Amino acid sequence: MTSPTDAKAAAPRSLTISRSFAAPRERLFACWSSAERMKRWFSPEGVDVPEAEIDCRSGGVFVICMRMPDGTEHWCRGAFGDVVAPEKLTFDCEVSSDGKARFFVRTIVRFAVEGAGSRMDVEQRYEIYDDAFRNAVEGSAEGWRTTLDKLAREVARASEAVPAVRGAFVVERTFKATPAQVFKAFTDERAKSRWFAGGGDDPKLVEREMDVRPGGREVAVGKWKSGKTSRFDAVYFDVAPDRRLVYAYEMHLDARKISVSLACVEIEPHPVGVRFKVSEQAVFLDGYEDNGSREHGTNFLMDKLVASLEG
């Protein structure tokens, strides 16, 4: 990033701050890699974060809006540099208000194991564009103190034991097709992309891996217009051509693992053509509230699968 040509140059300033936490560094790293979590803690006390977009990978966007008590909004817009989970992350951004860039900041965060917990070191380097914001930069140490107090509360919140919630459902469809066509729709990457999540604009498919065989893995990562990232990560245990698929999969929203499931797809001939059944047993983790959305989503996908074959 470069400063505006009409900005007044200023010598770069820097800040280093450290804090120890009674939590593993993986939990700390997760608090930096989720927009939902960053909105709860990434601001000094009394300052809100109404909007955030976090794509925690090299080159991914970093956008935070901080709303001051008087309603003024300061936007931090930039991108991640090095991301090595759960050891280190860096990001550069410009801070602007009223549509004008005020200063540039480079942030380096390191996570180290410290006894049964961890230590986080944050280093920031600044380049001031607008001299009126020099005091804001010089007061950043106090801002970080209360920000890390909020982070400690977020880490404690993430550490609270929340009972897992179990769910199970069965979805069936009977329609005109052959068992071979249905099996191909589940196991061929091109055929599956016609109906499985990620085939449209929302979410947009950003990663795909498909190896349907016993021990094989399937991964589908989608980026939603809301900024969230969903990840389907499956391992196959039984693959009987034209008859059956058994697999287990994890679902993630951003860095949060929300569920682990065991699923079975059964296919059989029928006078109409074919009948197939999808059975799933799921465990929803750490307070994630499904409220039937998994079953609803599966019904939606099965309708898309049928349409892809009947069309």
List, for residues 114-138, the tens digit of each pLDDT value.
988 999 999 999 999 988 888 777 7
What pLDDT was estimated at residue 6? 42
Q: Of the ranges 47-51, 58-62, 227-231, 285-289, which one carries the lowest mean pLDDT score? A: 285-289
Q: Of the ranges 64-73, 129-138, 170-179, 289-298, which one carries the lowest mean pLDDT score? A: 129-138
For residues 61 and 79, what is the distance between their CA atoms, to the nearest angstrom? 4
Give 21-55 pLDDT, tens digit per residue: 998 898 899 899 889 899 999 999 999 999 999 99
pLDDT band at 4 (very low <50, low <70, confident <90, very high): very low
58-87 b/e (C-beta count within 10 Å ≥ 16 → b): eebbbbbbbeeeeeeebbbbbbbbebebbe
What pLDDT was estimated at residue 65? 96
Does 13-159 match 165-310 in CATH topology? yes
What pLDDT was estimated at residue 159? 67
Fold for the domain defined by 13-159: Alpha-D-Glucose-1,6-Bisphosphate; Chain A, domain 4 (3.30.530)
Average confidence (pLDDT) over 67-73: 93
Largest Cα span, the chain: 79
What pLDDT was estimated at residue 225? 79
pLDDT at 86 over 60: yes
pLDDT at 12 over 70: no
Average confidence (pLDDT) over 248-275: 93
pLDDT at 273 over 60: yes
pLDDT band at 287 (very low <50, low <70, confident <90, very high): low
pLDDT at 167 over 80: yes
pLDDT band at 80 (very low <50, low <70, confident <90, very high): very high
Q: Which CATH superfamily is domain 165-310 in?
A: START domain (3.30.530.20)
What pLDDT was estimated at residue 301? 92
Q: Please give the model's pTM, rounded to 2 decimal places.
A: 0.53
Long-range contacts of 90-93 (CB under 8 A, 24+ apart): 91/62, 92/1, 93/1, 93/62, 93/64
pLDDT at 310 over 70: yes
Give 185-205 pLDDT, tens digit per residue: 999 999 998 898 644 566 788
**Bigger pLDDT: 30 vs 92:** 92
pLDDT band at 141 (very low <50, low <70, confident <90, very high): confident
Contact 216, 234 (CB under 8 A): no
pLDDT at 175 over 60: yes
**Bigger pLDDT: 165 vs 256:** 165
Portion of the chain with pLDDT greater than 90, in percent: 66
Which residue type sits at 22? A
Mean pLDDT for the chain? 89
Cα–Cα distance list, 89 to 27, 123, 160, 201, 278 (Å): 14, 11, 25, 29, 41
3 state DSSP class of 199: coil
Give 243-256 pLDDT, tens digit per residue: 999 999 999 987 77
Closest CA to 22 of 133, 121, 116: 116
Domain boundaries, the chain: 13-159, 165-310
User: N- to C-terminal Cα distance for the chain?
Assistant: 49
For residues 258 and 260, what is the distance between their CA atoms, to the nearest angstrom? 7
Neighbours of 280 (CB within 10 A): 19
